[in-house]
């Protein structure tokens, strides 16, 4: 599967599998053009992120091929990667 990492200023997150990268990039571009806005997306661990994108935000994407992780479903009602997960 393809895994996409988004870097936001000095923080990096992996997007869930199946995240539409083109749509997310367009939403971020629109947020920046409007002067700033919160955008939501799901990261590995099935956790929803809400990030404020502004004209001064630094955003980078990196894509790599990795083995599929069956837990990585994008279902925010079933998060994983917490204190009690192995």
Q: What is the mean pLDDT of residues 1-20?
A: 91
**pTM: predicted TM-score of the whole model, two decimal places:** 0.79
Q: What is the mean pLDDT of residues 35-60?
A: 95
- CB neighbours of 1 closer than 8 A, spacing ≥ 6? 17, 65, 66, 67, 68, 69
pLDDT in the model for residue 81: 66
**Is the Cα dihedral 20, 61, 63, 50 positive or negative?**
negative
What percentage of residues in the chain have a pLDDT greater than 70? 93
> For 44-54, what is each residue's pLDDT tens digit?
888 999 999 99
Concatenating the DSSP letter of every residue in 14-77 gives EBPTT--HHHHHHHHHHHHHTT-EEEEEEETTTEEEEEEE-TT--EEEEEEE----TT----TT
On the question of pLDDT at 82 being above 60, the answer is no
């Amino acid at each position: 599967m393809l895994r996409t990492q988004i870097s936001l200023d000095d923080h990096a997150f992996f997007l869930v599998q199946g995240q539409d990268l083109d749509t997310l990039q367009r939403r971020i571009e629109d947020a920046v053009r409007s002067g700033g806005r919160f955008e939501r997306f799901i990261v590995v661990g099935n956790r929803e992120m809400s990030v404020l994108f502004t004209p001064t935000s630094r955003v980078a994407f990196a894509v790599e091929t990795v083995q599929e992780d069956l837990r990585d479903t994008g279902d925010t009602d079933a998060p994983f990667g917490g204190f009690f997960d192995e």
